[in-house]
Chains A and B, each alone.
Chain A
Amino acid sequence: MTTVLLINDDDDIAQLVRSLLQARGMTVLDAHDESTVEKQLREFPADVVVIDSDIRSATSLHLINVVRSLTKVPIVLLTEASLALRCLPSLDLPLVFSKPIDVNDFAERIMALVPTEEAEVLSDLTAQLADLRKVFADALPSKLDTLSEAVSAAQMDPAHIEVAHMLAHRLHGSAGSYGFEAVGHAAAGLEDLLADVFENRQLASQNAFWESVRSALQDTRMSANRAPELEAIAPGVLIGRTRAILVVDDDPDFLRLVKANSRALMIDVVTAQTPQEALQYARTRPFVAALLDVHLGPNTNAFELAKEIRRTPQNESLRIAFVSGDGAMQTRVSAIEAGASKFLEKTTLNDSFATTMEAFLKSSADDRGRVIVVEDDADTREMYMFILEQAGYSVSGLECADVLVETLEEKGADLLLLDVNLPRLSGVDVCRALRMSERWGLLPILIVTSLADARLRVNAYRAGASDVMSKPVLPEELVARADAQMERARLLRDRADKDGLSGLMSRRALLENFQRVLGRCKRELEPLALVFLDIDRFKMVNDTRGHLAGDRVIARLGELMRQRYRVEDLRGRWGGEEFALVFPGQEREFATHAAENLLREFSRIPFYSDDGTEFYVTFTAGISGYPDDGESLEALFRCADDRLYAGKRSGRNRIMGAGSLTEVSEIWDAEEGL
């Protein structure tokens, strides 16, 4: 409970202020002169002292000094406008009001001055946590020294490996909990390396092994050096979701180069020299993107590795780029099937690395969601924007709602953060207006109020706010509320846009996205290719193998299509046993290769009928391309559909490209088995 000491001898004003503050749950005590002030403050510690300057027995300046000698709580001065101007600068008071006061404004700002209990506890906690982290940070260099010594001792005598492993393990577990995530990850790499020796004792006698241990140790040290810089940017903010990029290459020099580059770009890069290492990282954390060398050594297939990384639950939608000097069609097809959005050449990497990674970070933020923040106070607005950007959102800011609708239309938004007190229109009115429009009727809107006033909350909800939060805004709370709104919106969208059985886009979502992508290709003079495919003799599969087996076929093909290709390629279930695949920026030839590979893979998957017998399934596909086969969505679908039916008539189990008949000869002829 907040206690306010009101020093005043004008009963009318005292009455007004008292009832205002009491209505908001505060306890109000009175004092009329210097001696009662002393008595009250000694007996009942106040949280705020309000001084009215019209006091005859002492000047307000003297009273301020008396209060200051007794307590450190904020002092609010109520005074004549002329007096306020004269004494303001020298007094260093948090609030000065000139009479007559605006009662609501007055109460609200007094409330804002007194931290609410919960906020106090949390800010206190954050401070304690910051202290703990400081202690940890101070001890970190000596921990790293101990770790280095343990590694050296282990190299001399493998009996000490266990000690080094334990130290790395501890650092792995603790560093991240103290906010030093990069140190934790690097230590995890070291821990895993050292654990390998337990399985294979031979390693301990190999120089190459100790070299990689040394480099992992070096990584750990480097990330420890970098941590304080990040701290300086975000003091006390614990919510920063890392936006890290995974780089996989067997060449340590290249990895060092990338690390150096990424530091300059302020991108968090995690490097892995082996596929095992890369997968270990991918299983434990989400990445924004992965950059893989196509040539990862003789026994490693980089494309398979990319697919496996994408199969880890946290990295289903990460961007993938390959580094290679080889631009052959089959390599490109394999790369795109493995999800590559970008091909980089090692020789020109310095320039293209920066632009590619920045584009990846940007598009990943767009994927997470776009937030528009409307708040007139520049500092507050920037704080909200910083917090939300740290949480991985793409954020833009406005100081008033005047151009809000234009901004919404131009940039789109997944969440709107509205302050209640805006110039001209209030946030509540803005919210009400948006709710009346069809287009923005469902947009999640989060309203921030500085009044912990139930009536205002009710008004905000009545106006259609999805959520209301009051100042002071805690970073964690802001992110948690934004996340919750986004997640709800995403679930609703998914339910409408996703086909339940295949997990691909629904027909409607595919059409909408296709239209958008086609428009962009036209503007940017890029080609586009469409694959329209139909599972062969699916009715017979359902009739002879059972409907559940038919469902499994649809689900498996959907899964295969989800696991392949780039994030930007569209994959949808058209209906029944028909599917569509759209490759923006690619020619028909490419799509034909890709469809052939898909057919080959799909036709080798064994299915089991409801009674347990094994069977195989094929499909037939028609390809069409913009601009060669037409300019409109309808023309492209019609053309692909014509080719698909030509393929069905000429025997099924084949891909029909532009005019020429392409048959995949070595595949299993599944129809024999039906």
Chain B
Amino acid sequence: MSDDLPAAFAEIADDFSAATTRQRLDLLLEFSDELPGLPERLHDARDSLERVDECQSPVFLTVEVEPDADRTVHLFFDAPLEAPTTRGFAGILQAGLDGLSAAQVLAVPDDAPMRLGLAEAVSPLRLRGMVGMLGRIKRQVRVKSG
């Protein structure tokens, strides 16, 4: 089921799949807690971050693509502590995609967020926010690696 996902993302998907609904929420909370803050150098550049309209809470993201041969991708998110579900989604994408090559990120299937078994715990509607984040990440990678 997770054959076409990058290794780190597939591992996260497998962890979620193996968990009970309650444990899935605990896992999501861990990702929320561990979401790295914006690096200092981006603090003043908040205006340049892209707002994810698909999410109900204010969440912003930006993508950096290194000039190396792989075009290594780095992801940065800014989401309030009062929105732990959204932070959790961002944390999963950060842990699952950061450090991959641009080509690998672009190859991630658009429905990857739906494969975490979270629909039951957080409602499919909320998951659309995560699909929206992934779509925006891929679009930024496409523009910035082109």
Chains A and B are bound partners: no
Q: Which positions in B face A, CB cutoff 8 Å?
A: none
Q: Which positions in A face B, CB cutoff 8 Å?
A: none
